[in-house]
Amino acid sequence: GEPGGEGGTTTATEKAEKTDLHTEPEAAKVKTNAATGVPACVLFPIAQNEPITNPGFGYNALALQGWLLLCCQLKHGGLQDKPGKGRDHYHTCYCLSGLSAAQHFGGDGILGPATNLLEKLNPVVNVVETQLVRWMRGMEKTTG
């Protein structure tokens, strides 16, 4: 690690908190292991399935969050498939889904400040968990 932080090294979280998420040179420096160069839309299925079947193994949840926040997030909103691509609704949806899955099912917590935390999604239907529960309760009332 780099000097600073607790124990003389800077943690990934400390680096993310200090990093301007919209600077191209900083985003280019991010090393995300297997996630580097992988289209963002394929990361949600990985993030949603691996932790459920194999908790804590299979992918680096913090690296996935770093990839999505530093390399896929665009300055004026939206998320892109990978650096150099434009934003669109499809990739924004699946980037956010993958980010939520990594935060809630990855076992490593959230990268950066608490304001990065997204709501928990139900990984089966890719809907915010609280809204799914609300809908299911409404369905029970109409059918029961």
Under DSSP, is residue 122 helix (H, G, I), strand (E, B) or coil? Answer: strand
Radius of gyration of the chain (CA): 17
Cα 78 → chain centroid: 13
On average, the pLDDT of the chain sits at 73
Q: Write a three-state SS string for 21-70.
A: CCCHHHHHHCCCHHHCCCCHHHHHHHHHHHHHHCCCCCCCHHHHHHHHHH
Mind listing the pLDDT tens digit for each residue in 10-26?
444 444 444 444 443 33
H-run or E-run covering 10 = none
Q: Which residue has the higher pLDDT, 132 or 28?
A: 132
Q: Give the per-residue pLDDT at 42.
A: 62
Six-digit token pair at 112? 């950066």
Q: What is the pLDDT of residue 45?
A: 60
Give pLDDT tens digits for 38-60. 666 666 666 555 544 445 446 78
The whole-number pLDDT of residue 115 equals 95
The total of other beta-carbon atoms located within 10 Å of residue 123's CB is 20
Give the pLDDT confidence score for residue 12 in this predicted structure. Answer: 41
Least confident of 48-62, 91-105, 111-125: 48-62
Please state, in angstroms and as integers, the Cα–Cα distance from residue 111 to each residue in 12, 61, 79, 100, following that order: 7, 9, 17, 11
pLDDT recorded at residue 117: 96
How much is the average pLDDT of 54-75? 82
The answer to whether the Cα torsion of 45, 50, 55, 57 is positive or negative is negative
